[in-house]
Amino acid sequence: MKVTPLRLQGANILEPIIHGDSRGYFMESYNEQIMHGIGIQEHFIQDNQSLSAEVGVLRGLHYQLNPKAQTKLIRVLTGAIYDVIVDIRRNSPTFGQWVGVILSEYNKRQLLVPKGFAHGFCTLVPNTQVLYKVDEYYSPENDRGILWSDPALGIDWPTSAPVLSDKDQRHPLLKDAELNF
Ligand SMILES: Cc1cn([C@H]2C[C@H](O)[C@@H](COP(=O)(O)OP(=O)(O)O[C@H]3O[C@H](C)C(=O)[C@H](O)[C@H]3O)O2)c(=O)[nH]c1=O
């Protein structure tokens, strides 16, 4: 497993070992012992999966408040996404800063998103399926969001006219968001 720290403290790109042969490939997409060996001690308790049919579907920016804040381990099964995380830890020196990475079925990269980050992605190809592990259960009462197009964030999304859920069209700006990290 190759680990590449991102410039926002605690966020990492993980690249598993791919065992290719004439049939295709095999990889251990998740191994708790290896995760613990590289310092990722979280115990993931829920797996999520989403399918986005179109290019330009944007889901986010989402997070759960403490005490139900989630660490997320994200990967793409089919297709490709531009995956974005935003540091929303009030005392962080990188508060309000974001990083974007491409995760795809081809690069098989995984993104570890620590608690205290808002997360969102935009699909780059049709029929993109995203899988992700979380270490806290879904908590609708603690589910919050930040507007994808918040000018204070200036996220360089691959489209200026994404396909959004009604909910994702109505999130507050970061300056107005409820935070407790
Ligand atoms: C997150 C979640 C949702 N749901 C239900 C709630 C809704 O009835 C339906 C769709 O939920 P939502 O529109 O929040 O799904 P996404 O827009 O894909 O949001 C997710 O994708 C972004 C990128 C994230 O980072 C979040 O983890 C997650 O919120 O699934 C559940 O039953 N369990 C869950 O864990």
Q: What is the Cα–Cα distance from 50 to 86, expressed in whole angstroms?
A: 21
**132 in active site:** yes
Q: Are 44 and 115 in contact (CB under 8 A)?
A: no
- Nearest atom (ligand 1) to Cα of 167: 13
**62 in active site:** yes
- The token pair that represents 74 in the structure block: 């994200």
Per-residue confidence (pLDDT) for residue 80, from 0 to 100: 98
Ligand 1, residues 50, 131, 157: which to mutate, most atoms within 8 A of Cβ?
50
Provide CB contacts within 8 A for 154, sequence distance 6+. none
Minimum CA distance residue for ligand 1 atom 1: 138
- Nearest atom (ligand 1) to Cα of 165: 13
145 lines ligand 1 (CB under 6 A): no
Per-residue confidence (pLDDT) for residue 132, from 0 to 100: 98
Per-residue confidence (pLDDT) for residue 5, from 0 to 100: 96
Per-residue confidence (pLDDT) for residue 146, from 0 to 100: 98
The interface pTM score, or ipTM, of the predicted complex is 0.97
Per-residue confidence (pLDDT) for residue 48, from 0 to 100: 98
Per-residue confidence (pLDDT) for residue 61, from 0 to 100: 98
Per-residue confidence (pLDDT) for residue 149, from 0 to 100: 98
Per-residue pLDDT in tens (0 to 9) along the chain, 181 residues: 899 999 999 999 999 999 999 999 999 999 999 999 989 999 999 999 999 999 999 999 999 999 999 999 999 999 999 999 999 999 999 999 999 999 999 999 999 999 999 999 999 999 999 999 999 999 999 999 999 999 999 999 999 999 999 999 999 999 999 999 9
Give the residue among 88, 58, 45 at the shortest CA–CA distance from 149.
58
Please give the angle made by the CA atoms of 71, 150 and 166, to the nearest 5 degrees. 75
